[in-house]
Amino acid sequence: MPEGDTVWNTARVLHRALAGARLTGSDLRVPQLAATDLTGWTVHESASRGKHLLLRLSAPADAAWTLHSHLRMDGAWRAYAPGERWTARPAHLIRVVLRSPGAVAVGYHLHELALVPTAEEDSLVGHLGPDLLGPDWDADEAVRRLAGHPELSIGEALLDQRNLAGVGNLYKCEVLFLRGVSPWTPVRAVPDLPGTVTLAQRLLAANRGRWTQSTTGVLRRGGTSYVYGRRAQPCRRCGTAIRKEELGERVTYWCPVCQPERTDVELPRTT
């Protein structure tokens, strides 16, 4: 699941493969960039901002540019050795190919691709809230932004990247289970909003640097989550069947016993 930690890991893979290299070829397979040739450009850094990936380069004339991409639900980058087969995804999903003397970076099913002057990055990511895995992470600011939407459900508020950047559906479900909060609880009624934000940051940070996302501390298949992806399976705490329901445009998983409904909040009925 491409959440903040996945994008952070992806940025590090690209940085190790390309940073400091001069590109020997490029192929941008999207209409708005089809005529763009990055051959001869130097890659300086690969960084993440929430769920956004920023590849910073300089043109031969030393102008600084950023190749921006978003993974959404199905995007991915892979780094290959020169001559190695590209096996991660079908070829028709390739959107970007960047070649250097030591590696080839291939972007599959990327979204929101754009090439902008680095000085204008804020036009693409300036709306985002504090980055849970960023060097400038600000928990107080994240709490302030969440609290600015008191009537919104906490489940929806955590997914809004303008509040805090990096939480996706998996971490939303897991954080709220561990905090004992129903996903439909209005932000104003969450007992400890700072504690919720702190836990979210801690869980993402714990998975930084590895591809298997686990909130339980268990890395084996089937044991990595408390509620996410476990509909009708027994809760690891109380044994009650985990439920699955739509919340906004996404689904959510929760335990009706460990995350009890509040008397002042009207929740959807489940079958």
| Ordered strands of the 52-58 beta sheet | 42-49, 52-58, 64-70, 111-117
Residue from 49, 51, 145, 172 carrying the catalytic annotation: 51
Query: In the annotation, is 2 catalytic?
Result: yes
| 143 touches 193 (CB < 8 A) | yes
| Long-range contacts of residues 178-182, Cβ cutoff 8 Å, at least 24 apart | 178/215, 178/226, 180/258, 180/259, 180/260, 181/154, 181/259, 182/254, 182/259, 182/260, 182/261, 182/262, 182/265, 182/267
- For 80-102, the DSSP string reads E-TT----SS-GGGEEEEEE-SS
d(CA 230, CA 163): 27
Residue from 3, 121, 156, 174 carrying the catalytic annotation: 3
DSSP letter assigned to residue 261: P
Nearest to 76 by CA among 63, 87, 65: 87
Residue from 144, 237, 244, 250 carrying the catalytic annotation: 250
Query: In the annotation, is 3 catalytic?
Result: yes
Query: In the annotation, is 183 catalytic?
Result: no
Q: Catalytic positions, please?
A: 2-3, 51, 250
